[in-house]
């Protein structure tokens, strides 16, 4: 958010309001605004007098003029309040013209200069944001009274959101403390995540916005008959695996009693999924789901059948090249429904059996949805079924479940939080995996 961005946004909003006002007849100036008790001419009086007063502040901060006294400000307010609606537009244009002439003459670095205001000593940019807050909201207040489809522009929302959060925090600090809030436009094109768990509210883009809810919902809420069928099949497959491969398992007591949580194993072979699923008790199995790349379904004539089978398994397919955001949103949607997500943080099977770089998807979901991650180490699965082999072969399989890793309590630096949580997850999995190799 730069000084230039802020003043450009304010000029555009004033121009938008001016265009609307120029089309009003005498009755239009007397219309009620949408959200306040003011009529249109009273809203315009407020914005115009604010321009005159803020011009005085600019002169004080940057030209060395004395600050406006309370008496001078009251005189400005009274002058505009006394204007007839018929004269208001001309005075509004004159006040905003003078204001922008001085504002536009300032260099970009002026926004960083510390100035005295009612907030104390703050950058001039912050005071301009408060002025923009008044202009944007009152402009929308006038426009939406006639046009219910009128919207506040996205860039204005981006600039003003921290200010709104500050105001909300002052008004309802007790209610918001320790909480997180998601904001989104009705059409879903704009989403933000606000974290009130730290000393100051933190705003980040929401990477876990809603996916195609209808499609994902159908997958997550498949018939319990199908789910039980796969549960029985998984237990039967687990029995065969124990006989054929000599499966060893430790740490299952560390699994949470119920979801939502994220189960994150390293990925060695096609055997990983069936074995991990077979080790789950019914209370967890019935609420498990997966997000996988659509390439695993292939492109042959049986694609439709395979896709249907995947849906009964509660596997949400996504395009690995173009829809990774959708994968995140599908995972977030399921976790919000209380489900347990099985997510392989490497994103693909290992080429040599060793854990590779972990992607940050699990950390993002854990952080924003405040769900724990259960690390799982797999060993022997690569030897049993390497990527370059068509059929499996005999090998000793070992699985170890680790203690759930809690999400961070606050989100002061989102990227750093994701990085630290991803490193903790990988370090835990690698440590357990190395221990399994020694036995």
Q: What is the DSSP letter of 203?
A: E
Give the CATH number of the domain where residue 113 resides.
Answer: 1.20.120.450
Q: Which residue among 144, 171, 198 closes a domain?
A: 171
Do 139 and 249 share a domain, yes or no? no
Range 58-93 burial, b when 16+ CB lie within 10 A, else e: beebbeeeeebeeeebeebbeebeebebeebbebbe
Do 392 and 295 share a domain, yes or no? yes
Do 196 and 250 share a domain, yes or no? no
Which is it for strands 191-195 and 180-184: parallel, antiparallel or unpaired?
antiparallel
Task: Grade residue 326 by pLDDT with cuts at 50, 70 and 90.
Answer: low
Do 264 and 339 share a domain, yes or no? yes
pLDDT tens for each residue of 328-343: 777 888 888 889 999 9
**Does residue 156 have a pLDDT over 90?**
no
**Does residue 212 have a pLDDT over 80?**
no
Task: Grade residue 301 by pLDDT with cuts at 50, 70 and 90.
Answer: very low
Give the CATH number of the domain where residue 381 resides.
Answer: 3.40.1130.10
Average pLDDT, the chain: 84
Do 164 and 176 share a domain, yes or no? no
Alpha-carbon distance of 425 to 358, in angstroms, equals 8
Higher per-residue pLDDT: 406 or 337: 406
Higher per-residue pLDDT: 263 or 179: 263
User: What pLDDT score was predicted for residue 86?
Assistant: 84
Do 113 and 45 share a domain, yes or no? yes
For the chain, give the percent of residues with pLDDT over 90: 49
Do 230 and 348 share a domain, yes or no? yes
Do 13 and 142 share a domain, yes or no? yes
Structural domain range at position 47: 3-171
**Does residue 9 have a pLDDT over 90?**
yes
Question: What average pLDDT score do residues 405-413 get?
Answer: 80
Alpha-carbon distance of 303 to 164, in angstroms, equals 49
Do 165 and 37 share a domain, yes or no? yes
Q: What is the pTM of this model?
A: 0.56
Task: Grade residue 435 by pLDDT with cuts at 50, 70 and 90.
Answer: very high
Q: What is the DSSP letter of 370?
A: T
Do 179 and 121 share a domain, yes or no? no
Do 8 and 108 share a domain, yes or no? yes
By residue count, the chain amounts to: 439
Enclosing H/E stretch for 217: helix 213-220
User: What pLDDT score was predicted for residue 322?
Assistant: 44
Do 179 and 219 share a domain, yes or no? no
Alpha-carbon distance of 76 to 82, in angstroms, equals 10
Task: Grade residue 412 by pLDDT with cuts at 50, 70 and 90.
Answer: low
Three-state DSSP class for residue 205: strand
Number of domains in the chain: 3
Q: Per the omega criterion (within 30 degrees of 0), is the bond before 63 cis?
A: no
């Amino acid at each position: 958010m730069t000084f230039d961005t802020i003043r450009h946004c304010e000029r555009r909003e004033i121009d938008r309001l001016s265009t609307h006002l120029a089309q009003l007849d005498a009755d239009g100036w007397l219309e009620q605004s949408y959200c306040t008790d003011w009529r249109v001419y009273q809203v315009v009086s407020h914005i115009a007098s604010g321009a005159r007063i803020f011009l005085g502040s600019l002169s004080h901060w940057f030209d060395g003029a004395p600050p406006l006294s309370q008496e001078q400000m009251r005189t400005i307010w009274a002058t505009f309040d006394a204007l007839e609606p018929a004269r208001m537009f001309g005075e509004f244009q004159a006040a905003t013209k003078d204001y922008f002439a001085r504002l536009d003459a300032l260099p970009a670095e002026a926004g960083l200069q510390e100035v005295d205001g009612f907030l104390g000593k703050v950058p001039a940019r912050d005071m301009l944001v408060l002025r923009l807050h008044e202009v944007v909201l009152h402009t929308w207040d006038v426009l939406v009274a006639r046009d219910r489809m009128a919207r506040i522009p996205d860039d204005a929302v981006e600039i003003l959101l921290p200010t709104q959060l500050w105001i909300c925090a002052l008004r309802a600090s007790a209610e918001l403390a320790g909480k997180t809030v998601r904001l989104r436009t009705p059409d879903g094109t704009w989403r933000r995540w606000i974290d009130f768990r730290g000393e100051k509210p933190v705003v980040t883009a929401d990477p876990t916005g809603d996916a195609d809810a209808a499609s994902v919902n159908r997958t997550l809420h498949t018939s319990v008959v199908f789910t039980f069928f796969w549960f029985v099949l998984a237990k039967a497959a687990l029995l065969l695996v124990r006989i054929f491969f000599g499966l060893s398992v430790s740490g299952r007591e560390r699994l949470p009693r119920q979801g939502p949580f994220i189960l994150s194993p390293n990925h060695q072979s096609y055997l990983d999924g069936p074995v991990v699923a077979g080790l789950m008790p019914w209370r967890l199995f019935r609420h498990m789901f997966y997000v996988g790349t659509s390439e695993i379904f292939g492109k042959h004539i049986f694609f439709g059948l395979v896709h249907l089978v995947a849906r009964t398994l509660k596997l949400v397919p996504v395009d690995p090249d173009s829809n990774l955001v959708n994968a995140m949103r599908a995972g977030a949607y399921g976790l919000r429904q209380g489900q347990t997500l099985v997510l392989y943080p490497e994103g693909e099977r290992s080429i040599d059996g060793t854990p590779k770089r972990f992607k940050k998807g699990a950390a993002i979901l854990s952080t924003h949805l405040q769900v724990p991650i259960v690390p799982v180490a797999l060993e022997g699965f690569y030897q049993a079924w390497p990527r370059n082999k068509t059929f499996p072969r005999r090998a000793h399989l070992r699985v170890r479940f680790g203690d759930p890793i809690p999400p961070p309590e606050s989100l002061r630096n989102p990227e750093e939080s994701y990085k630290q949580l991803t490193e903790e997850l990988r370090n835990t999995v690698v440590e357990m995996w190395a221990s399994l190799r020694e036995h």
